Chain A
Amino acid sequence: MHHSLKEVQQLTGHTDQVWCVAWSPSGSLLASCGGDKTIRIWGKEDKSWVCKSLLTDAHTRTIRALSWSPCGQYLAAASFDATTSIWSRKSGEFECLATLEGHENEVKCVGWACTGNLLATCARDKSVWIWEVTADEEFECASVLSTHTQDVKCVKWHPACELLASCSYDDTIRLYHEASDDWESCAMLKGHSSTVWSVDFNKDGHRIVSAGADASLKIWQDYEPGNPEGIATPDNLPVWKCVCTIGGHHERPIYSVNWCSLSGMIATASGDDSLCVYQEISTEDARNAPKFEIAVRQKAAHLEDINCVSWNPVQKGLLASCSDDGNIKIWQLQKE
């Protein structure tokens, strides 16, 4: 291990478990949400992070997940009350612009596509919804995808194109794209032995990392039609294959995984109260058989389960985590 995590600051304020932390695209704001049904927006003043806004009254139950639009002007919040709220900060203050209804029960995650024109939500009702964002700030349901057989835990868009990944209590990952006027599932990634809690793409979008209740990480590589390895690509669609499984570092479920687009490092958060950071090491066949080593294992990073971990998109090595203990922590990755 050649790295360590230095605790920069602990952010207190939430009165119940904190489920999600999300950096704004500029990296200057951190949004958080949780069991207290509020959203807090944190920003830096002088040298410390402070709560700049407290958004309340939009949801009647736990707020589970947040996602910023790529322009940084909108924030979407998914709630157990079956709705997703959309907040705008164009006026300078956060205002609730719309509430998206349609899911039958708890919405578990929300994600904004790289173009800013699409939004995805997923729920315990086993469905993934794709919403189109119109020019006049309206949200219309473009598709309801019911390919998972269980609770859908997380949705994540490709960093450069309109390809969506989702993962589920049914132990699988699904990918979706728009084909001849409608959205469809174009791949199923099977390998985890229990619930897949979280997925993320790497910087160029050719890899996916997934993590879940089996306490392991899997790295998936895409093989496009005509790939040099000669891997068959039925229907001329890219095929995703698991090229690496990393286990043995977490003792309980991994609830969140985040792939840093600046450093290429992967951070994980677990129910064992620890955070891990992994880095890829050079090998002969890095594309088909990559190797990762653990760079940091931060035991007792929080007092209880850690639910989410997120790299700052601008400041390299700056990491945020949040926990059932009600706190958020900001960390700086350091070389030893």
Chain B
Amino acid sequence: MSELDNANPLVFEITKDRQILPEEEDDSVTDKFDRREIFDLIRVINDPEHPLTLEELNVVVESNIKVDDDKNSVYVEFVPTIPHCSMATLIGLSIRVKLLRSLPPRFKVDVKIAPGTHESELAVNKQLADKERVAAALENSHLLELVNQCLSKRATG
């Protein structure tokens, strides 16, 4: 493998599991999507380079997520570990794909780099927002494999 972009990343502590309230298990109660649920979906995504999750690398944090269930909108900002991280597009794509696969199709999902945290912020954001490019990327078996690696459950041992 070639040299890593960021060989010694800072590792952060992970959040405790969400406490499930009794009303959340009650099927008769309409339960809107909230920020924590979106966070739980994406915090376990693997970093493409390190054997760590996006949460452990502080790439995704709960406070950078906005959800409006009534307006069908989910907005996620992520922070690449370093400003010239070459994996930023792949990380963004993985977050997008995870949410597209997990959420009901009524949701409009926007994934962006947190302002000021990457050199090619605008270019990466534009690419991630282009649904045609995302659709084409997901038909590319090599790229799809990389995304699926990020989304697979890592074997713990």
Complex Cα gap A89–B43 (Å)? 53
Residue on B nearest A35 in the bound complex, by CB: B135
Asked whether any CB of chain A lies closer than 8 Å to the CB of B3, the reply is no
A271 on interface, CB distance cutoff 8 Å: yes
- Starting from the known contacts A108-B132, A303-B106, A304-B105, 16 additional A-B residue pairs (CB-CB under 8 Å) come to A17-B135, A61-B136, A62-B136, A80-B135, A80-B139, A105-B136, A124-B133, A151-B133, A195-B126, A195-B130, A213-B130, A252-B108, A271-B108, A304-B106, A305-B131, A324-B105
- Which residues of A have CB within 8 Å of B132? 64, 108, 153
- Complex CA gap A62/B132 in Å reads 10
A106 on the B face (CB < 8 A): yes
Contacts of A153 in B (CB 8 A): 132
| CA gap between A64 and B132 in the complex, in Å | 9
| Distance between Cα atoms of A305 and B135 in the complex (Å) | 13
By a beta-carbon cutoff of 8 Å, the part of chain B in contact with chain A is 105-106, 108, 126, 129-133, 135-136, 139
Q: Are A194 and B135 in contact (CB under 8 A)?
A: no
Across the A-B interface, the 5 shortest Cβ-Cβ residue pairs: A106-B136, A61-B139, A80-B136, A304-B105, A80-B139
Mark A94-122 against chain B: 1 for CB-CB distance below 8 A, else 0: 00000000000110100000000000000
Residues of B within 8 Å of A184, CB to CB, are none
Which chain A positions have C-beta within 8 A of B131?
271, 305
Query: What's the least CB distance linking B109 to chain A, in Å?
Result: 11
Asked whether any CB of chain B lies closer than 8 Å to the CB of A169, the reply is yes
B136 → A minimal CB distance (Å): 5
A contact residues around B105 at 8 Å (CB): 303-304, 324-325
Give Cα A305 to B134, complex, Å. 14
Which A residues lie within 8 Å of B135 (CB)? 17, 35, 62, 80
CB neighbours (8 Å) of A80 from chain B are: 135-136, 139
Q: Which residues on A sit within 8 Å (CB–CB) of B136? A: 61-62, 80, 105-106, 124
Contact with B along A190-227 (1 / 0, CB 8 A): 00001100000000000000000100000000000000
Residue of A nearest to B106 (CB): A303
Task: Name the distance in Å between B8's Cβ and chain A's nearest Cβ.
Answer: 36
Q: With A252-B108, A303-B105, A325-B105 in contact, do A169 and B139 touch (Cβ < 8 Å)?
A: no
Determine the chain B residues whose CB is within 8 A of the CB of A105 once the complex forms. 136
Interface residues of A in 115-170 (CB under 8 A from B): 124, 151, 153, 169
Query: A253 to chain B: which residues have CB within 8 Å?
Result: 129
A35 to B139 Cα, complex, angstroms = 10
- CB–CB A213/B129 < 8 A: yes
Shortest Cβ gap from A19 to chain B (Å)? 8
List of B residues within 8 angstroms of A108 by Cβ = 132
Closest to B71 in A: A251
Bound state CA distance, A305 and B131, in angstroms?
10
> Within the assembled complex, what's the spacing in Å between the Cα atoms of A304 and B106?
6
Q: Offer 23 A-B interface pairs, CB within 8 angstroms, sorted by A.
A: A17-B135, A35-B135, A61-B136, A62-B135, A64-B132, A80-B135, A105-B136, A106-B136, A108-B132, A124-B133, A124-B136, A151-B133, A169-B130, A195-B126, A213-B129, A252-B108, A253-B129, A271-B108, A271-B131, A303-B105, A304-B105, A305-B131, A325-B105
- Name B139's closest neighbour in chain A (CB-CB): A61
